Each structure stands twice: as structure tokens, then as C-alpha cells.
């Protein structure tokens, strides 16, 4: 390790010292490199092995690397979906003593993909719409905590599957600014205009490369983020006025926000002088309503729509076993041990890098519904699971699998650290074939 090398990290991984920092990133040997799909970047970015996990390394200036490192830390404290910072590497020099760029190291987000890797051949309209909707939600969450992005695009975002939708994560914060007093309407409008312009360009680029389904309007897709953003922002921030005898409207507003995945930490309620009308406006809005409830009940940390779907199944389980009067935590533990965990453990080991466990469970429920519709009767979960594994999951591509080198060849090795952590002992008390 060169004497001048400096590492900034909240917790220094000793493995950082073994990486070839005296070599330009573009020349790193294949023994250190992990070939994963990545988005378009103005900087050189490569994935590498670090102590059994995968990290992304971006070469940039020391000032930019430190700034982005600090910003990612601030966003993480605000519970905003973004990649996890690992370290800043500065003071790099090559074998001849010539300076090399600084590097920002971030953790690879498991089971996430850049937008170009989310479709195999052509981008369909419904996939494009779901991507844009996910980005709109991310932008609303960022603006809600006072973050001005400055370079909103699909390329600067990673996506994870979320029960039929997508969850978006910020992956590039180098142009961002955090304003504690909140953003002005002009700043929000600027971010939205940048988003619309960038998305239109990205979709047109796909169209030029023959990767856009015929008849898809790139401008219409880009316009979709504007309408989705304004709809979400209004739901979170608009003041609402109603008659004093319409108190149920307050409950409806809270429920509407919960359905969108948000919790209200504070609400301003003001009565008019004559007492006939009441105005309400959410003050503090936190995302992850269903995530927090599922985490509290089961310990499962999943995406918001996945949490909503799992909670629905948990509630249905509670009705099926006639435990409506029982403590919610006790029923949740029984559902976890009798339904969710047996399903996860029934997935063959060689298929576990296909999807996250929560996404597998969601897709299983979808598959079971279609089978039941086709047969005209309810299909047992165990039967649906066998069908899903053999006819659906086995034919999916691995989304936690090493991708081939730049030549487009595909490697068959699997990133062990990206596989879901699942207890794989053989002493289960419950046979998955007895799933309720």
C-alpha cells in the first residue's frame, strides 16, 4: 500500500488495504473484478470483491468523492433509499509515483439492477411506466427531506422488484444538495424538468437501438413522471378543508396516505372562526408504513409493496385459522413459521439467487391465484409452490448472478454474498407440504 494512501470510512474494512489502489481502475486484474450489469456513468465505475461482498468503485476527484460520501451518509440518516457508502480512497499513486484519481466505494445493492437490465429484449410500455412511477416516488421522498438532486435520471437510479412494481434507489448523489429548510417550488420544478428531459433521452436512446417496443411514445413516458410526481406530492402536502361534521374526512386522508405507503408524524388542524369548517395539512410524512408494520410483527425487512402483500396474506391467515381475537404479534409469529419460512426453505438452493424471498412469496401468491382461476377452485399453497418452482422460477434469470465480462459472455458463478441469507438446516418442525 502506498504511504500516501488515505482511507475515510466509518468502519474500515481491512480488505480495502488489499485492493490494487496503485493500479488505474480500468486496468484492475479480473481476480478482483465482479462483472455485474451497471448503468451509464460519466465516471469509470467497476464492481469488485471486498471481504466476501460486492462493492462499486467510482474514480473521481477527492473533493467530489468526499462530498458524495458525506451526502450518502446524510441521506441514510434520513432513511432515504440510496446505496450504502463504504469509503473514500485518496492519495493514490501508480508504480511510477504519478497521482491517480480518488475513489468512492459503495456497497452493491443486492438484487438491484440498472433500468437497462430490467428487460431482456425490448422495453414494454407497462415496464417503462412502473420504472417512471418508482422514480417519481423516490423523487418525492427526496424532496420531502429537502434534497435537491440536480441530475435525476433512470441511469442514476437502481431498481429492485417490489411485488409487481419497482422500488427505486438513488445511486449517484454527486450533484445533490441538502436544504434543511426544505426546497422551493422552483427547485422542485427544476429537478422535475431535468428528470423529464433525461428520461425522454434515455427512452429515445433505447428506441434508436431497437430496444423499445413498437408504438411506445418516449415523450409520453417521460411526461409520466411529471403527472405521477404532482399526484404524489399533492397527496402528501395539500391542505384539505371540510365541514366540522365531516370528521371522517380526516380518517380518510390518513388512510389514503397509508395506502401510498406513508405515515403522518404530525398533522396541523385548524378550525375557522365560526367553527363550521376545519383545515388539515400533514406536517411530517415518513415513508414505509407497511414496511415498519411488517418489520415490527415479523422481523422481515422488505420493500413497501412486498410488505403490503405479505401483510395481506398474514391477515388472511389470521381469518383462516380463526384467531381474530388473538394478539397480533402471536399470529404473525405463527404465520412466519407455518407459511413464509417453509416456502422460503422449499426453494431449491440453486434457484435462490433468482429473486429475493419476499418477491418469490409475492409471485407465488400471484401464481396460486391464476392456478385457482384456471381450475375453478382454490389450489393448496403446496401444490402452487411446486408448480411455481418448476414452471416459473426455474426459468427466470438469476438476478444475483455474476454477469459476463464486457465481451457479453455469461459466467455461471454465483455471488455467494448476494444470495439471500436463509437458515438452511434440515430440522424444520413443519413440512412445507403441509402449508395452510
The CATH number of residue 175's host domain is: 1.10.510.10
Cα–Cα distance between 420 and 111 in angstroms, integer? 9
Instruction: Indicate whether 366 pLDDT > 90.
Output: yes
Q: Which domain holds residue 261?
A: 240-287
**Average pLDDT estimate for 259-263:** 82
Band the pLDDT of 320: cuts 50, 70, 90. confident
Q: What is the pLDDT of residue 58?
A: 95
What pLDDT score was predicted for residue 237?
A: 86
Q: Which of residues 56, 81, 107 is at a domain's end? A: 107
pLDDT given at position 404? 40
Domain count, the chain: 4
Q: Which of 35-44, 145-154, 415-424 has maximum average pLDDT?
A: 145-154
Q: Which three cell numbers mark 416?
A: 455467494
Of the two residues 8 and 246, the one the predictor is more confident about is 8
- The predicted-structure confidence for 103-113, as pLDDT tens digits, reads as follows 999 999 988 88
Helix (H, G, I), strand (E, B) or coil at 64: helix
Inter-helix orientation angle 218-237/125-144, to 10°: 40
The closest alpha carbon to 6, from 70, 74, 100, 85, belongs to: 100
* Residue 393, C-beta contacts closer than 8 angstroms, at least 6 positions apart: 347, 351, 354, 355, 360, 363
Indicate whether 406 pLDDT > 70: no
- Choose among 122, 153, 118, 157: nearest CA to 225: 153
Query: What is the Cα–Cα distance from 145 to 130, expressed in whole angstroms?
Result: 23
Instruction: Indicate whether 219 and 135 sit together in one domain.
Output: yes
C-alpha to C-alpha distances, 226 to 105, 148, 175, nearest whole angstrom: 32, 16, 21
Give pLDDT tens digits for 188-225.
Answer: 999 999 999 999 999 998 888 888 887 778 899 999 99
Q: What DSSP designation does 116 have?
A: G
What is the pTM for the complete model shown? 0.79
- Co-location of 144 and 202 in the same domain: yes
For residues 271 and 250, is the Cβ–Cβ distance under 8 A?
A: no
Higher pLDDT, 344 or 430: 344
The domain boundary residue, chosen from 237, 270, 304: 237
403 is written with which cell numbers? 454477469
Q: Is the pLDDT of residue 422 over 60?
A: no
CA proximity to 430, closest of 327, 328, 344, 326: 344
Same domain, 215 and 166: yes
Integer angstrom CA distances of residue 52 from 8, 49, 87, 261, 350: 20, 6, 16, 34, 19
Give 337 or 210, the one with higher predicted confidence.
337
User: Which of these ranges, 32-46, 72-86, 148-162, 329-343, has the smallest mean pLDDT?
Assistant: 32-46
List pLDDT tens digits, range 32-71: 998 876 666 678 899 999 988 999 999 999 999 999 999 9
Q: Give kind and range of the element (H or E) at residue 104.
A: strand 102-107
Could you tell me if 266 and 198 lie in one domain? Answer: no
The C-alpha cell at 170 is: 438513488
More confident residue, 425 or 232: 232
Return the ∠ at Cα 279 (arms to 274 and 284), rounded to 5°. 150
Is residue 1 one of the residues assigned to a domain?
no
Q: Given this model, what pLDDT does residue 219 score?
A: 92
Confidence label for 400 from pLDDT (cuts 50, 70 and 90): low
CA angle, residues 197, 201, 202, in degrees to nearest 5: 115
Amino acid at each position: 500500500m502506498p504511504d500516501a494512501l488515505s482511507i475515510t470510512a466509518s468502519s474500515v474494512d481491512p480488505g480495502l488495504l488489499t485492493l490494487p489502489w496503485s493500479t488505474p481502475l480500468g486496468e484492475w486484474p479480473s481476480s478482483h473484478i465482479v462483472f455485474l450489469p451497471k448503468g451509464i456513468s460519466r465516471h469509470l465505475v467497476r464492481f469488485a470483491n471486498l471481504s466476501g461482498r460486492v462493492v462499486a468503485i467510482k474514480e473521481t476527484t477527492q473533493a467530489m468523492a468526499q462530498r458524495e460520501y458525506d451526502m450518502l451518509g446524510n441521506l441514510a440518516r434520513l432513511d432515504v433509499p440510496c446505496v450504502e457508502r463504504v469509503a473514500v480512497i485518496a492519495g493514490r499513486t501508480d508504480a511510477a509515483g504519478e497521482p491517480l484519481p480518488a475513489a468512492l466505494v459503495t456497497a452493491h445493492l443486492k438484487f438491484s439492477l440498472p433500468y437497462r437490465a430490467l428487460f431482456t429484449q425490448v422495453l414494454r410500455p407497462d415496464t417503462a411506466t412502473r420504472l417512471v412511477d418508482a422514480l417519481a416516488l423516490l423523487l418525492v421522498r427526496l424532496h420531502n427531506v429537502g434534497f435537491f438532486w440536480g441530475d435525476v435520471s433512470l441511469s442514476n437510479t437502481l431498481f429492485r422488484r417490489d411485488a409487481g412494481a419497482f422500488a427505486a434507489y438513488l445511486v449517484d448523489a454527486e450533484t445533490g444538495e441538502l436544504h434543511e429548510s426544505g426546497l422551493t417550488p422552483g427547485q422542485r420544478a427544476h429537478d422535475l424538468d431535468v428528470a423529464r428531459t433525461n428520461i425522454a433521452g434515455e427512452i429515445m436512446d433505447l428506441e434508436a437501438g431497437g430496444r423499445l417496443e413498437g408504438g411506445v411514445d418516449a415523450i409520453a413516458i417521460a411526461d409520466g413522471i411529471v403527472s405521477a410526481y404532482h399526484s404524489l406530492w399533492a397527496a402528501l402536502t395539500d391542505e384539505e378543508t371540510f365541514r366540522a361534521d365531516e370528521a371522517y374526512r380526516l380518517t380518510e386522508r390518513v388512510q389514503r396516505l397509508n395506502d401510498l405507503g406513508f405515515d403522518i408524524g404530525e398533522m396541523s388542524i385548524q378550525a375557522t372562526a365560526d367553527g363550521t369548517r376545519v383545515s388539515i395539512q400533514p406536517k411530517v410524512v415518513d415513508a414505509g408504513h407497511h414496511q415498519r408494520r411488517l418489520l415490527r410483527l415479523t422481523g422481515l425487512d422488505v420493500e413497501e409493496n412486498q410488505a403490503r402483500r405479505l401483510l395481506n396474506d398474514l391477515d388472511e391467515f389470521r381469518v383462516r385459522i380463526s384467531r381474530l381475537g388473538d394478539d397480533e404479534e402471536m399470529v404473525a409469529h405463527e404465520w412466519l413459521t407455518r407459511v413464509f419460512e417453509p416456502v422460503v426453505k422449499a426453494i431449491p438452493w440453486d434457484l435462490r439467487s433468482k429473486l429475493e424471498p419476499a418477491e418469490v412469496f409475492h409471485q407465488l401468491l400471484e401464481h396460486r391465484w391464476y392456478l385457482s382461476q384456471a381450475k375453478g377452485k382454490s389450489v393448496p399453497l403446496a401444490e402452487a409452490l411446486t408448480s411455481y418452482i418448476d414452471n416459473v422460477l426455474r426459468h427466470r434469470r438469476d438476478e444475483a448472478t455474476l454477469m459476463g465480462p464486457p465481451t457479453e459472455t455469461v459466467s455461471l458463478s454465483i455471488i455467494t454474498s448476494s444470495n439471500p441469507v436463509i437458515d438452511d438446516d434440515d430440522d424444520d418442525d413443519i413440512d412445507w407440504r403441509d402449508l395452510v
